[in-house]
Amino acid sequence: MMNENAKKVPSVVVKRLPRYYRYLGELLKQDVKRISSNALSNKMNVTASQIRQDFNYFGGFGQQGYGYNVEYLYNEIGDILGLHDGDTTVIIGAGNLGRALASHDTFEKRGFKLIGIFDNDKNVIGTIINGIEVMSVDFLKSFVTQNRVDIGILTVPKSAVFKTAETLVECGVKGLLNFSYTELNFDKEVAVENVHLSDPLMTLSYKIKQNKAEF
């Protein structure tokens, strides 16, 4: 049922799901059992009707006048996001950003398992990051073929990203998280998220400009 419905979910709604998930996780930590869409709305700076509308794409999660069950909602959204599927990841490019992501324990907390880190720099190969030894990219193909790798995280330079991405896709990777300041697009079975770290800086700059006009 979920999949039938989920296909129609607009990408702006999908992009809000991680935020709901994070926020519900915080509530759980604080031992909050139930929350109304109004209270959720106040805390999250989204209108209550927006929240209800978003949740309706997934069946509404059964709020019946007395609020959402926080733990149920957290688990449902986690399930929708595929966080219970145990997806494995590899990072290609062990520069500063690759190292930052490899050491980023939130990825693991969200259910992703980092199983390999690759680089082409002799000085980096063999070093240990977060308990994992950096391998040569020469072994990328055989590693991804021999292990179940769901997601490739690309922190290689722009010049290397297309070739690296194609290798991963050929070897059956299902998704690419691309930090290489380019737009990757694959048809069919390969999901891609292109992350541009300068985008939030530009959005911030917009907000600053608006504030200057206001105050």
User: Under the rule (CB under 8 A), what is the footprint of a copy of itself?
Assistant: 3, 6-7, 12, 14-15, 17-19, 21-22, 80-83, 85, 87, 89, 95-97, 99-101, 103-104, 106-107, 110, 112, 150-151, 153, 174-177, 181, 188-193, 195-215
Residue whose CB is less far from a copy of itself, 32 or 81:
81
Residue whose CB is less far from a copy of itself, 141 or 207:
207
Q: How far is the CB of 108 from a copy of itself (least distance, A)?
A: 10
Q: How far is the CB of 146 from a copy of itself (least distance, A)?
A: 20
Q: Which residues contact 35 (CB under 8 A, 6 or more apart)?
A: 27, 67, 68, 70
Residue whose CB is less far from a copy of itself, 34 or 110:
110
Beta strands 175-178 and 151-154: pairing type?
parallel
Residue whose CB is less far from a copy of itself, 138 or 172:
172
Classify the C-alpha dihedral 102-104-109-110 as positive or negative: negative
Q: Which residues contact 23 (CB under 8 A, 6 or more apart)?
A: 40, 43, 44
Residue whose CB is less far from a copy of itself, 4 or 31:
4
- Report d(CA 126, CA 134) in Å as an integer: 5
- Report d(CA 165, CA 174) in Å as an integer: 11
Q: How far is the CB of 178 from a copy of itself (least distance, A)?
A: 9
Q: For the chain, where are the alpha helices, taking DSSP H only?
A: 2-6, 11-29, 37-44, 48-56, 70-80, 96-102, 105-109, 140-146, 158-170, 198-214
Q: How far is the CB of 157 from a copy of itself (least distance, A)?
A: 11
Q: How far is the CB of 65 from a copy of itself (least distance, A)?
A: 28
